[in-house]
Amino acid sequence: MKILVALGGNALGENPTAQLKLVKHAAKSIVDLAEEGHQVVIVHGNGPQVGMIQSAFENGHDVKSTIPLMPLPECGSMSQGYIGYHLQNAIGNELLSKHIDIDVATIVTQTVVDPNDAAFKHPTKPIGRFHTKDEADQLIKELGITMVEDSGRGYRQVVASPKPIDIVEKEMIKTLIKSKAIVIAAGGGGIPVVKTEGYVGVSAVIDKDFSSAKLAELIKADVFIILTAVNKVCINFGKPEQKELSTLTISEAKGYIKNNEFGKGSMEPKVAAAVSFVENNPLGKAIIASLEQASLAIAGKAGTTITID
């Protein structure tokens, strides 16, 4: 089967040292899928990483400095490069250890968005590390950025998160898939660009789950699986009446979203992206599961499967 795997940025750690260790764990699950004969495409998040890169340039910049403030599209491209390298290296080493002759390739990817998307007026996408309330207030004062509380875990910067409408490099990605390579693409949701006479980068971060769903649609994936920190989608999460869901219909999912059942910056975009994929690909399967249970979830023995009504 052709499987598109969406891997969360928070699962990769907040710094390069932590990430080098964590990608080895992710690589084992990815290679297990390839070893089972599946064609694998990976889209990773970059929320902590792109925020780290942006903060590094901000910290090094002042009126007398030669270090520039780095635009968000360039920060996104840097995160694609270094996360892609770590994943590509870890997956390649795991393939070598199992004597599996498959290539791995990372594509720096541009994702087309609508310049009139309402998201540009209402930033919602969390990036960077978590801060205390006092730290957030200071950053708002110093940098004029928008900070919000994120799912009870602290405060994070939020930026515009427009919906993806196309992937510029989709034909190259399809070519690599035909060559049987494991492909890492649309990292962090892709570098957001708008189409003019060509393509121009814009200051935003596209939710990687929505870009994953769009790419899964474009490559006609059989399975779209979002790997996260929980085994299944839950309702009443964190409460005594918490309930895990093994299946979730499109209408049920939309009802839960309408009732704000899922965290805006955590599970809600994952469920919404899975719904989008199934609506546009009725023959495909969308799953939300933990990294450790990826193979079991694809076999229908774990995770939450989103189905048509």
Please report, for the domain that includes residue 103, its CATH number: 3.40.1160.10
Name the active-site residue from 46, 84, 125, 170.
125
Instruction: Determine contact, residues 225/298, Cβ cutoff 8 Å.
Output: yes
Least confident residue range of 2-11, 19-28, 54-63:
54-63
Per-residue pLDDT tens for 35-69? 999 999 999 988 777 777 877 776 665 545 565 66
Domain count, the chain: 1
The reply to whether 24 belongs to the active site is: no
- DSSP-derived secondary structure for the chain: -EEEEEE-GGGG-SSHHHHHHHHHHHHHHHHHHHHTT-EEEEEE--HHHHHHHHHHHHHH--TT-SPPPPPHHHHHHHHHHHHHHHHHHHHHHHHHHTT----EEE---EEEE-TT-GGGGS--EEEEEEE-HHHHHHHHHHH--EEEE-TTS-EEEEE--PPEEEETTHHHHHHHHHTT-EEE-SGGG-EEEEESSSEEE-S----HHHHHHHHHHHTT-SEEEEEESSSSEEESTTSTT-EEESEEEHHHHHHHHHTT-S-TTTHHHHHHHHHHHHHH-TTSEEEEEEGGGHHHHHTTSSSEEEE--
Residue 10 known to be catalytic: yes
Q: Rounded to an integer, what distance in angstroms lies between the CA atom of residue 78 and that of residue 72?
A: 10
Query: Is the pTM of the predicted complex or chain greater than 0.85?
Result: yes
Print the domain residue range for 120: 2-307
- Is 201 noted as a catalytic residue in this protein? no
The pLDDT tens digits for 254-263 are 999 999 999 7
15 is catalytic: no
pLDDT digits (tens, 9 = 90+) for 219-246: 999 999 999 888 999 998 888 999 999 9
Catalytic residue among 51, 270, 284, 303: 270
Is 125 tagged catalytic?
yes
Please compute the mean of the pLDDT values over residues 296-307 and round it to a whole number.
Answer: 95
pLDDT at 89 over 70: yes
Please identify which of the residues 46, 187, 208, 214 carries the catalytic annotation.
208
